[in-house]
Amino acid sequence: MKITTLLGSAKKKGNTATVLGWVEEALASMGHEVDRIYLNSKTIKGCMGCAKCRETPDEIACVQKDDAEAVLSQMIASDVVLYASPVYFWEFTTQIKAVIDRSYALVTNYHQPGHTSLMEGKRVGLLVTGAGAYSQNAEGLFTAFDRIAGFLMAEKAGELYVGECSVPSELPDDIREKAADLARSLVA
Ligand SMILES: Cc1cc2nc3c(=O)[nH]c(=O)nc-3n(C[C@H](O)[C@H](O)[C@H](O)COP(=O)(O)O)c2cc1C
């Protein structure tokens, strides 16, 4: 399968990138093609809500000309998309939230008859790291992600929260195995 991962942390060697690397390693060892997008190097502005994109359901057709179109195009060309973000103030980071908001351009008629999505049938997953426990920190991201998957008409194929993080060298031993479990569920 063709798998795109979206790294939403600016840190290339941080907790999220480290665990994401373990997921990617497991996917590659199963023979899948994995391509990571480092979102911090992209210019992706916020959605303006102008809804011009809704006039052309078969195309991305956003009026804003930045890096979003290339990122969204790669997502559409993939079988699986894994979103990876640290928790920032009980939310996704700005870098990955911008991609989520701009995916408005992939969908028409949400909550109406004729709901369509350029991501229909794709498998999506979520990896989150945080300093705190799941409860009181990360549950909002996972609830939102389930709804985002529904909005995209995608299938949520796996999720992993790694809490109580300090630095990558202190990540618990069992996380590598949990990362491999996530990899397997993404392509199951
Ligand atoms: C601006 C900022 C806000 C944060 N907010 C939260 C939070 O609300 N809850 C939490 O558990 N951790 C929070 N953290 C901690 C990070 O989520 C955690 O350290 C994460 O593993 C960092 O991932 P990284 O090393 O990939 O950047 C925050 C960190 C920063 C820098």
Q: In tens digits, what is the pLDDT along the chain, a chain of 188 residues?
A: 999 999 999 999 999 999 999 999 999 999 999 999 999 999 999 999 999 998 888 899 999 999 999 999 999 999 999 999 999 999 999 999 999 999 999 999 999 999 999 999 999 999 999 999 999 999 999 999 999 999 999 999 999 999 999 999 999 999 999 999 999 999 99
Phi and psi based region of residue 19 (left: phi greater than 0; alpha: psi -120 to 50; beta: remaining): alpha
pTM score, whole prediction: 0.98
Question: What pLDDT does residue 25 have?
Answer: 98
In the chain, where the domains are located = 2-187
**Which residue's C-alpha comes closest to atom 25 of ligand 1?**
14
Question: What pLDDT does residue 150 have?
Answer: 98
Say if ligand 1 is within 6 A of residue 131 CB. Answer: yes
Q: Which helix (H) or strand (E) holds 177?
A: helix 174-187
Cα–Cα distance, 104 to 159 (Å, whole number):
22
Going 144 to 150 to 154 to 156, the CA torsion angle's sign is: positive
Residue 156 alpha carbon to ligand 1 centre in Å: 24
Residue 112 alpha carbon to ligand 1 centre in Å: 36
Q: Which helix (H) or strand (E) holds 70?
A: helix 68-76
Rg (CA), the chain: 16
Say if ligand 1 is within 6 A of residue 16 CB. Answer: yes
What separation, in Å, do the N-terminal and C-terminal C-alpha atoms of the chain show?
A: 11
**Fold annotation for 2-187:** Rossmann fold (3.40.50)
CA 83 to chain centre: 2
**93-119 b/e (C-beta count within 10 Å ≥ 16 → b):** bebbbbbbbbbbbbbbeeeeeeeebbb
> Which of these, 95, 104, 101, 109, lies nearest to 60 by C-alpha position?
104
112 DSSP assignment: S
Question: What pLDDT does residue 56 have?
Answer: 87
- Which three-class secondary structure state does DSSP give residue 121? coil
> Which atom of ligand 1 is closest in space to residue 90's alpha carbon?
8
Residue 90 alpha carbon to ligand 1 centre in Å: 9
Say if ligand 1 is within 6 A of residue 130 CB. Answer: yes
